[in-house]
Structure 1
Amino acid sequence: MNKFTDFTALAAFLEEARDHGIDTSNEYASSFIEESEMAKLSVVSEPEKADMPDPFQVEAAVDLMMRTMFDVLRDTRMEEFAKDLAWGFCNSFHMVAKRLEGREDDAARKLGELARTFDPSEIYANELEDTQLLCQTLEGCRAAMECMRDHAAEIYRVETGQPFSTVKGSRVSTKLSASMIDARDYLASRARTRREQFAPEGPVVAFSGGQEWHDHELLWDRLDQIAKRIPEMVLATTAQAKGCDAIATAWAASRGIKVVQFKLDRSQGNRAAFVRNDRIVNLKPFEAIVCEGSGIQSNFAQKLRAAGVPLHIFRRAQQRSAAAA
Structure 2
Amino acid sequence: MYDSFIDQLSGLDLSGLSIGPAPFNQTDFPCEDAIDQTLGAVWSDLFAMFSDTALEADAEDIAWGVVNLFHRAASRKSAQLDRASNEIRVLLASADGSEVHSSNLEEQIERAQAAEASMLAFERMREAMAALYREETGSCWKPMSGSRTSHSRGLTSAVIDGRDFLRARAENRRHALIPEGTPVVFAGGRQSFESAADARAYADNIWATLDKVRNAVPDLFLVHGGDGKGADRLASSWAERREVQQLTYSLDRRLGARAGFKRNEQMLSLNPRYVVAFPGNGVTERLVIDAKARRITVVNRRGPLGTSPGS
Is TM (by shorter chain) over 0.5? Answer: yes
User: Alignment partner for residue 195 of structure 1, among 167, 174, 177?
Assistant: 174
Instruction: Please list, as runs of the form range in 1=range in 2, the aligned pairs for 1:1-325 lying within 5 A after superposition.
Output: 51-173=28-150, 193=171, 194-212=173-191, 214=199, 215-319=202-306
Q: Deviations over 1:210-244 (max 9, x none)?
A: 21153111111110111122222100002222221
Task: Give the conservation status (yes or no) of the 8 Å contact 2:185–2:272.
Answer: yes
CA distance in 2, matches of 1:54, 1:291: 42
Task: Give the conservation status (yes or no) of the 8 Å contact 1:67–1:155.
Answer: no
Relative to structure 1, the CA distance from residue 77 to residue 238 in structure 2 (aligned partners, 3 Å threshold; closer, same or farther) is same
Determine helix, strand or coil for the equivalent of 1:278. Answer: helix
Relative to structure 1, the CA distance from residue 252 to residue 45 in structure 2 (aligned partners, 3 Å threshold; closer, same or farther) is closer
Structure 1 position 97, deviation (Å)? 0.7
Determine helix, strand or coil for the equivalent of 1:234. Answer: strand
Aligned counterpart, 1:323: none
CA distance in 2, matches of 1:245, 1:306: 24
Task: Give the conservation status (yes or no) of the 8 Å contact 1:290–1:301.
Answer: yes
Determine helix, strand or coil for the equivalent of 1:236. Answer: strand
CA distance in 1, matches of 2:26, 2:204: 53
- Gap regions ≥5 residues in structure 2: 1-19, 153-169, 193-198
Determine helix, strand or coil for the equivalent of 2:185. Answer: strand
Q: Which moved more, 1:283-292 or 1:311-320?
A: 311-320
Relative to structure 1, the CA distance from residue 241 to residue 44 in structure 2 (aligned partners, 3 Å threshold; closer, same or farther) is closer
Q: Deviations over 1:185-204 (max 9, x none)?
A: xxxxxxx6412111111101
Task: Give the conservation status (yes or no) of the 8 Å contact 2:120–2:151.
Answer: no
Relative to structure 1, the CA distance from residue 119 to residue 282 in structure 2 (aligned partners, 3 Å threshold; closer, same or farther) is same
Structure 1 position 96, deviation (Å)? 0.9
CA distance in 1, matches of 2:62, 2:259: 33
Q: Which moved more, 1:45-54 or 1:217-226?
A: 45-54
Task: Give the conservation status (yes or no) of the 8 Å contact 2:279–2:306.
Answer: no
Which has more radius of gyration? 2
Q: Deviations over 1:93-130 (max 9, x none)?
A: 00111011001101011112212222111110110000
Relative to structure 1, the CA distance from residue 62 to residue 310 in structure 2 (aligned partners, 3 Å threshold; closer, same or farther) is same
Deviating 4+ runs (over 6 angstroms): none
**Aligned partner letter, 1:203:** T
Structure 1 position 54, deviation (Å)? 4.5
Identity of aligned pairs, percent? 29
The number of residues matched between the two structures is 262
Relative to structure 1, the CA distance from residue 283 to residue 105 in structure 2 (aligned partners, 3 Å threshold; closer, same or farther) is same
Structure 1 length-normalised TM = 0.75
Alignment root-mean-square deviation, CA: 2.1
Structure 1 position 271, deviation (Å)? 1.6
Task: Give the conservation status (yes or no) of the 8 Å contact 1:211–1:240.
Answer: no
